[in-house]
Amino acid sequence: MAVLEKIRVKMGAFITVIIAVALLSFIIDPSTLESTVSMFSSKYDVGEINGESVTYQDYQKKVDYFTQIYQMTNGGASNDQVQDMINNTAWQEEIADRVIIPAIENAGVTLGEEELFDMSQGTEISPVLAGEASFQDENGTFDKAKLAQFIQAIHQDQSGQLQMYWGYLENNMVKDKLLTKYFSMLEKSTFVTPVELNRAIAENNTTYNVDFVVKPFGFGIDSTITVSSQEIKAYYDNHIKNFEQQESKDIEYVVYEVVPSVADIELTQNNINKVYEGFVSAENMKNYLARNSDQPYNPYFYKQSELSSVNATVAEFAEKAKVGDVLPPFQDDNMFIAARVMDIKNLPDSVFVKHILLQGENEKKADSLLQVLSKRGDFVQMAKDYSADKNPNVAEAGDLGWMTQTYLIPGFEPIFDAKVGEVIKLNTTYGTHLVKVTKTTKPVSKMQIALLVKETVAGKQTYADYYAKANDLATKSEGKLDKFRAAVKEGNLTYYPAVRVAPAAKGFASYEKAREVVRWINENEVGAVSPILSVDNKYFFVVAVTGEHEGGLASLKEVAPQIQQVLAFEKKGQKVAEETKALVAGASDINAIAEKLGTTVSSKSGIAFSALTTQQLDPKFIGAIASAKEGEVSGPVVGEVGVYYFVVNGKEVGAFYTEDDARLRKTQEFNYMSRMLPAIMTEAAGVVDQRYKFF
């Protein structure tokens, strides 16, 4: 036991649990032990696919992999939105590997060695490679030479990143080809039969001219209509598939938005007034704003048309401003702003740049090369010989391409002042650059404006005041729904309902980043009331769980009110139909029917059965028209909004819809079904997504 104690001390609670389970195996039967281990392991599953668990570790490996791919292709860290995209990509990859690709392979679809060769080096280049910008020439066309350069570079890359990226591309190529072959096989099995062809041509070439009257139902509740529990049960049984639902919960919540007080606004105004004089006279604006503004100095040169995106008041001021002119502080929403015109120049929007990159202590070498280049030295050859940038995916050595003010290397700002053909020396974090501008767009007038900004934020006392209000409600609620509602009523507070909040939701209502609130909802039962939940350091929530919807088939009790409304509406339609039938008894034509119903006759021409959704007419009404006899009054037809009586005055048969149109329609239907197929496969595989437990 002393040895066990040492292990516990060194390895902690996790090992203690494992040892406990091992000891239990001597005194409980194996099946009980298996279920115990399963309980522990399933706790760390992020989902289930085809009855198999997806462990947190397996899923996280894919997330890490796609995160690396993103960083390789985009550079830098990802934000929350990008990370969500990466997480979803990793999950879809799990589904593809476990469901879609196996289904395709089970259908007999495979790839041969020749196909694999053709996708990268033969005549059937994969769209995955063809769409990769690194393998395209200046015209956006796939270039095999660039691909060959990339593959050669893989063997020289010590980091292994190029090998990883090539593996990523190969995986995508194989999956894309398998999907293409699979859908091609399905498409060949989908064809238009002669019967379908004739029917489609007849339906699409026939139009009707109709006179009609409609008696609207009205949407008020009819107290004379009753729906029995037996009718509700029968409807439920006959439409059972319509009541599948996702797991979710209903809540009521009170939210306190922390907004700056009058005192906070006055403090901000005083703060900007204190530094305004220094702003007017500052010689080093970058340093001055770094010390005194809530936004750093932006050296960007704006066209007049761009200034409205900065601020409407600043844009109006800039229209007639000169260098040195200053706009005094003004309030704009939660900010106080002052502006000063720093410079006005004629500058191009874009410049095409070449460079030679020298790294390390190379100032003397840079000066020497600059002297040679100033005497018309061969820039491209010198880039090949001396530049540390050996990018193989450029048209000429040294090419950086087109740059704009929003897309350039930090430190390259002087390129917009450089003349075409001029070589200048610039220093950046990458090293020393000899930069040549080879072409530019037409220069236009632009203005550089410095902005002194003070944002109004809630002070400590303001936060404390709002927190106290939220805390008062949370305290009075005592974690119980009835007391929460009583406190809301007593305090005359505004509460909001939110229904069917899904476990994986990032937020609810208009609060898109309320994941911590959703996490609390997931972890608590109906009737529970939360403590204060803070979101974005701006909102305080107190939340009550009021309802729960289990995933799968909704219970009859849960959907009975919904069914009751549907059946009541159907009965109302039938009732109106019977009432109108009695009213129009004996009426011989459509005008007489309109008179008895107290309405007017409407006319519509060119009604086609094939265009149910594009004619802004009741679908049931259109269906009845297609089967009615010409010249006879038909009705009542119970539609979606009212009861119809009508007469078909004429029918026209054209020849504008051809066999090609019918086949095109079939192709469109197939394309739609193809897009839906992965979702259908996913549903059939019983995919359970429980990533919300961890993310």
Span 236-292, pLDDT tens digits: 999 999 999 999 999 999 999 999 999 999 999 999 999 999 999 999 999 999 999
Pairing between strand 244-245 and 248-257? unpaired
Region for residue 392 given its phi and psi (left: phi exceeds 0; alpha: psi -120 to 50; beta: otherwise) = alpha
In the chain, what's the furthest Cα-to-Cα distance? 108
Residues 419 and 359 in one domain: yes
Whether the pLDDT of residue 2 is over 50: the answer is no
- Encode 94-125: b = buried (16+ Cβ within 10 Å), e = exposed: bbbebbbbebbeeeebeeeeeebebbbeeeeb
**344: CB partners within 8 A, 6+ apart:** 322, 323, 445, 446, 447, 448
SS3 451: strand
Residues 135 and 164 in one domain: yes
Is 684 a member of any domain? no
The H-or-E segment that residue 497 falls in is: strand 496-501
Phi and psi for 446 in degrees, rounded to 5?
-140, 155
Residue 30 pLDDT: 39
Are 679 and 100 in contact by the 8 Å Cβ rule? The answer is: no
Phi and psi for 467 in degrees, rounded to 5?
-65, -40
- CA pair distance 376, 374, nearest whole angstrom: 5
Whether the pLDDT of residue 615 is over 80: the answer is no
Q: Per residue, what are the HEC states of 509-548?
A: CCECCCHHHHHHHHHCCCCEECCCEEECCCEEEEEEEEEE
Is 281 a member of any domain? yes
**In this structure, is the dihedral angle defined by the CA atoms of residues 220, 225, 229 and 232, taken in order, positive or negative?**
negative
Residue 276 pLDDT: 98
Higher pLDDT, 351 or 617: 351
pLDDT (tens digit, 9 = 90+) per residue, 37-58?
344 445 789 999 999 999 999 9
Region for residue 221 given its phi and psi (left: phi exceeds 0; alpha: psi -120 to 50; beta: otherwise) = beta
Higher pLDDT, 511 or 197: 511
DSSP 243: G
Is 74 a member of any domain? no
Residues paired with residue 356 on neighbouring β-strands, in sequence order? 434
- CA pair distance 596, 590, nearest whole angstrom: 10
How far does Cα 55 stand from its chain's mean position? 26
- Encode 159-176: b = buried (16+ Cβ within 10 Å), e = exposed: eeebeebbebbbeebbbe
| Residue with token string 């900010």 | 335
Is 452 a member of any domain? no
- CA pair distance 622, 83, nearest whole angstrom: 49
Residues 368 and 336 in one domain: no
Residues 336 and 307 in one domain: yes
Higher pLDDT, 232 or 8: 232
Please report, for residues 147, 171, 235, 494, the alpha-carbon distance to residue 142 in angstroms, rounded to integers and kept in the order given.
9, 19, 58, 61
- CA pair distance 644, 219, nearest whole angstrom: 17
SS3 417: coil
Average pLDDT, the chain: 88
Residues 322-331, mean pLDDT to the nearest whole number: 97
Of 488, 517, 549, which one is at a domain's C-terminal end?
A: 549
Residues 187-211, mean pLDDT to the nearest whole number: 82
- Cα dihedral 138, 140, 141, 142, rounded to 10, equals 100
Q: How many domains does the chain have?
A: 6
Phi and psi for 225 in degrees, rounded to 5?
-95, 130
Residues 341 and 360 in one domain: no
Residue 12 pLDDT: 35
Whether the pLDDT of residue 22 is over 60: the answer is no
Q: How confident is the model at residue 8 (pLDDT cuts 50, 70, 90)?
A: very low
Phi and psi for 228 in degrees, rounded to 5?
-80, 160
pLDDT (tens digit, 9 = 90+) per residue, 650-694?
988 877 777 777 778 788 888 888 888 888 999 899 898 989 888
Whether the pLDDT of residue 543 is over 70: the answer is yes
Residue 27 pLDDT: 37
How buried is 23 (Cβ within 10 angstroms: 0-12 exposed, 13-18 middle, 19+ buried)? exposed
Is 610 a member of any domain? yes
- CA pair distance 361, 250, nearest whole angstrom: 65
Please report, for residues 138, 264, 291, 333, 663, the alpha-carbon distance to residue 454 in angstroms, rounded to integers and kept in the order given.
46, 12, 12, 11, 64
Please report, for residues 151, 173, 500, the alpha-carbon distance to residue 552 in angstroms, rounded to integers and kept in the order given.
50, 36, 14
Q: How far apart are the first and last CA of the chain?
A: 40
Residues 360 and 435 in one domain: yes
Whether the pLDDT of residue 325 is over 50: the answer is yes
Token code pair at residue 335: 């900010």
**313: CB partners within 8 A, 6+ apart:** 327, 330, 332, 337
Residues 342 and 356 in one domain: no
Residues 153 and 219 in one domain: no
Residues paired with residue 54 on neighbouring β-strands, in sequence order? 47
Residue 606 pLDDT: 85
Of 326, 346, 366, which one is at a domain's C-terminal end?
A: 346
Residues 511-517, mean pLDDT to the nearest whole number: 93
Of 652, 669, 684, which one is at a domain's C-terminal end?
A: 652
Is 211 a member of any domain? yes
Residues 358 and 423 in one domain: yes
Residues 426 and 508 in one domain: no
Higher pLDDT, 363 or 478: 478
Q: Determine the structural domain holding residue 373 and report its residue range.
A: 349-441
Residue 613 pLDDT: 57
Residues 136 and 170 in one domain: yes
Domain of 627, CATH number, reads 3.10.50
Q: Is the peptide bond before 296 cis (omega within 30 degrees of 0)?
A: no
Domain of 524, CATH number, reads 3.10.50.40
Is 687 a member of any domain? no
Is 196 a member of any domain? no
Residues 577 and 620 in one domain: yes
pTM of the model: 0.68
